[in-house]
Chain A
Amino acid sequence: MTNTGRNASVPVLVGLLAALGQAPAAMAADSSHDEATQTAIAAVSEMGRQLRELKSFGIHADVAYDDVVSDGILVQRNEEVTISARVPDGLRAEIDGADLHRSITYDGLTVTVYGETLGYYAQFEAPATIRETLQKAAEQHDLQLPLADLFFWGTDEDNLADVTSATMVGPANIGGRLCDQYVFAQDDVSWQIWITQGDKKLPCKLAIVDLSQPARPQYSAVIDMTPEATFDASVFSFAPPEGAEKISIYTAKTADQ
């Protein structure tokens, strides 16, 4: 019963790891450089390499994630995420739940977080590129852009060295698309990615299990990416709607870094 509300892929992952005949820890211990791991990492790197060649792209994602509300009880939340990216200095993300609506806008100079229901927005000065901005937002303002990983794969900041073990699972049907599924183990997180088959490598789905918490909350996003989408410049600029009030945003003190 404790699995109530949990994403159904937990047993799948557990079953998968069991089928491999190896516990994640054991996988980590002796096989970080095996062929299966290298193949899986190479698949993500190749997808990342192709993503980094894009001058712009759009993402629509159906997201489900767990909140640990008490004592291991998980409540699954759903939201819709829409991302518009113009490399290197334009980004807009919209997060829509049933009640909560947020937009994050980056125009190359400033990041604005805006909540439609509350009518509050906050801003901070941003670096010159999307990646630097994502880094600063997370480090200093507690602001995590959804699917931020998609901006780091294919760069030297991909952190794929943290993968202790990985393997390809096989093809999967993600919303009518055939995508290759891969599973990765890291010390504090395990994750899976589904990548389109064929020459053009795009993400179909991303699933993350947080192993650092006993309840193991999950995050899952079914991703529909449109490469080389065209956006009006206004997508990336924020003009406060009438009645919107500016408030401050949390900023970590230097000592916290």
Chain B
Amino acid sequence: MRKILISALSAFLIYGLVPATVHLASTDHAEARGGGHRGGGGGGGRHTVNNRAGGGGVHRQVNNTVVNRNNTVVNRKNVDVNINRNTNINVDSHYYDNRHHPVATAAAITAAAVAVGTIVASLPSGCSQVVVNGIVYQQCGNAWYAPQYQGTTVNYIVVNPPR
């Protein structure tokens, strides 16, 4: 069974396929993020011997961010890949610099319901960059996102329409 999972996983990694449903992740899922210099770039391990972010460090900070933002995060990493009913393979995609992703369709549908303050790892398709009062936004239909760096990872915060 592991073999099958691994080969399925490789298909996702190679072709960037994420045939799945997006759901709002719990903070438990969010906890699995963080660590490493990507600062939230997937469930990586430590990249330095000494965790200079302090006790709990990066994990705690990432999680707190999410808590401060209405306990919701939409993250491609938390996509369920239902190869078998007991296994979810959550492919972290912070590693790649793609603004858009096949998951977009699902995310776009979700977007209308996503609360302001929600952080997403990637944008749905059909977004266009708009600068309002010197601030960069991505407008995706009715949804507006503000990109931000978290460590070296870029993620997107759902914001109220600036105009």
Which residues of A are interface residues toward B (Cβ below 8 A)? Answer: 1-2, 4-5, 65-71, 73, 75, 77, 95, 97, 99-102, 104, 113, 115, 117-118, 120, 122, 134-135, 138-139, 141-149, 152, 159, 162, 184, 186, 189, 191, 206, 208-210, 212-213, 215-219, 245-250, 252-253, 255-257
Instruction: Say if the beta carbon of B124 comes within 8 Å of chain A.
Output: no
Query: How far does the alpha carbon of A184 sit from the alpha carbon of B49 in the complex, in Å?
Result: 10
Known: A139-B53, A144-B48. 11 other contacts (CB 8 A): A65-B36, A69-B9, A69-B89, A122-B148, A146-B37, A149-B49, A191-B49, A218-B45, A248-B149, A250-B149, A252-B61
Say if the beta carbon of B117 comes within 8 Å of chain A. Answer: no
Kindly state the separation between the CA atoms of A122 and B131 in the bound complex, as whole angstroms.
16
CA distance A64 to B101 in the complex (A): 25
The minimal Cβ–Cβ distance linking A68 to chain B, given in whole angstroms, is 4
Candidates B90, B97, B148; contact of A250 at CB < 8 Å: B148
Instruction: Assess the A210–B46 pair: CB atoms within 8 A.
Output: yes
- In Å, the complex CA distance between A191 and B95 comes to 24
**Is the CB of B133 closer than 8 A to any CB of chain A?**
no
Binding site for A on B (CB under 8 A): 2-3, 5-6, 9, 13, 32, 34-54, 57-58, 60-62, 64-65, 68, 77, 87-92, 95-99, 129, 131, 136, 146-152, 154
Interface centre among A66, A100, A142, A148 (most CB of B within 10 A): A142
Q: Give the one of B37, B51, B65 with max A CB within 10 A.
A: B37
Q: Are A143 and B6 in contact (CB under 8 A)?
A: no
- Check if B5 sits within 8 Å of A249, measured CB to CB: no
Alpha-carbon distance between A149 and B42 when the two chains are bound, in angstroms: 22
In the complex where A144-B47, A189-B49 touch, is A253 in contact with B149 (Cβ < 8 A)?
Answer: no
Closest CB of chain B to A244's CB: distance in Å? 10
Whether A66 lies near B44 (C-beta < 8 A) is: yes
B154 touches A120 (CB 8 A): yes
CA A115 – CA B148 in complex, angstroms? 11
Could you give 22 example pairs across A and B, Cβ below 8 Å?
Answer: A2-B2, A5-B6, A65-B45, A67-B41, A67-B95, A68-B32, A69-B43, A71-B89, A73-B9, A95-B152, A118-B97, A120-B136, A138-B51, A144-B36, A146-B47, A213-B35, A213-B43, A219-B45, A248-B146, A248-B149, A250-B65, A253-B64
Hey, which chain B residues are within 8 Å of A250, CB to CB?
39, 65, 148-151
How distant is the Cα of A68 from the Cα of B40 in the complex, in angstroms?
Answer: 12
Q: Are A67 and B42 in contact (CB under 8 A)?
A: yes
Please, which residues of chain A bring their CB within 8 A of the CB of B147?
Answer: 118, 120, 247
Cβ–Cβ < 8 Å partners of B39 in chain A: 141-144, 250
